[in-house]
Amino acid sequence: MSRIAQNLQAVLQTIVAAEHEAGRAPGSVQLLAVSKTFGPEAVLEAVQAGQLAFGENYVQEGVDKIRALAAATPTPDQALEWHFIGPIQSNKTRPIAEHFDWVHTVERDKTARRLSDQRPAGLAPLNVCIQVNISGEASKSGAAPGEALALARAVAALPRLRLRGLMAIPEPEHDLDQQRAAFRRVRELYDTLRAEGLALDTLSMGMSGDMRAAVLEGATIVRVGSAIFGARTYHKEPQ
């Protein structure tokens, strides 16, 4: 078994244990393997170990991998699912709309309109999560919690998008209770939007260091990179 396959197995065991601890059904949390900065060969190792959903932060790198791995799965029912999880620059909305299945980082209605306008008619609607800056950090992207309802209604009205839920990256905490408190605020906002009539089903929250807390507070997608692929070397996305 490869190192990546072993790591995947360990992460999935952590998720299963957290589901059990939270009294949630097995399989209620999807693992999104964050493959940014790792090449197609690393993604292929994960595919061969059974992982099919991958997250990318850099548009061109992600598009290159999507193209390189288009024939990586043997049957149509094992098609790879690609999620864009990085900041969205206005000049990068078209390749995102054309190549990805999900976008987790919509924070403005202008961005949502561009994605809808540029989504090819032959593709299924683009699945969208609104990124919420739940900790109010000046350095972090995301809509303020008070803006989420209006933005969600605007996204839900667009024809080539499918609003799925919320995404958040809370301020890092090492204490489990503090991690849970931040994720609880995201879940409470999610519940508020659902009570307003929005058909949400996705909470994208939790990463390598806090996925247990996220699952305990209702995450349906956890975004895990380093615990699967190892330490990464960051680079700047070409303009």
Enclosing H/E stretch for 222: strand 221-224
pLDDT tens readout for residues 118-132: 999 999 999 999 999
- Is there a domain that residue 236 lies in? no
What pLDDT does residue 74 have?
A: 55
Count of structural domains within the chain: 1
Task: Map residue 187 onto helix, strand or coil.
Answer: helix
Whether residue 106 is contained in a domain is answered as: yes
Q: Residue 48 has which token pair? A: 């061969």
Is the residue at 12 inside a domain?
yes
Q: Does residue 197 lie in a domain region?
A: yes
Looking at the DSSP bridge assignments, the partners of residue 81 are 53
The answer as to whether 234 is a domain residue is no
pLDDT number for residue 126: 98
Judged on CB neighbours under 10 Å (0-12, 13-18, 19+), 181 is middle
Whole-number pLDDT of residue 239: 42
Low-confidence ranges of the chain (pLDDT < 70): 72-78, 234-239
Per the domain annotation, does 99 fall within a domain?
Answer: yes
Per-residue b/e over 20-32, b at no fewer than 16 CB within 10 Å? eebebeeeebbbb
Question: Is 73 within the bounds of a domain?
Answer: yes
Q: Which residue has the tokens 């956890």?
A: 222
DSSP character for 108? S
Q: What is the CATH number of the domain that holds 100?
A: 3.20.20.10
pLDDT of residue 23: 98
pLDDT for the residue 5: 97
Residue of 75, 76, 130 lying closest to 102 (CA atoms): 130
59 in a domain, yes or no?
yes
Q: Cα(124)–Cα(98) distance, rounded to whole angstroms?
A: 11
- In which domain, by residue range, is 97 found? 3-229
CA gap 234, 212 in Å, rounded = 25
Separation CA 204–CA 164 (nearest Å): 10
pTM of the model: 0.94
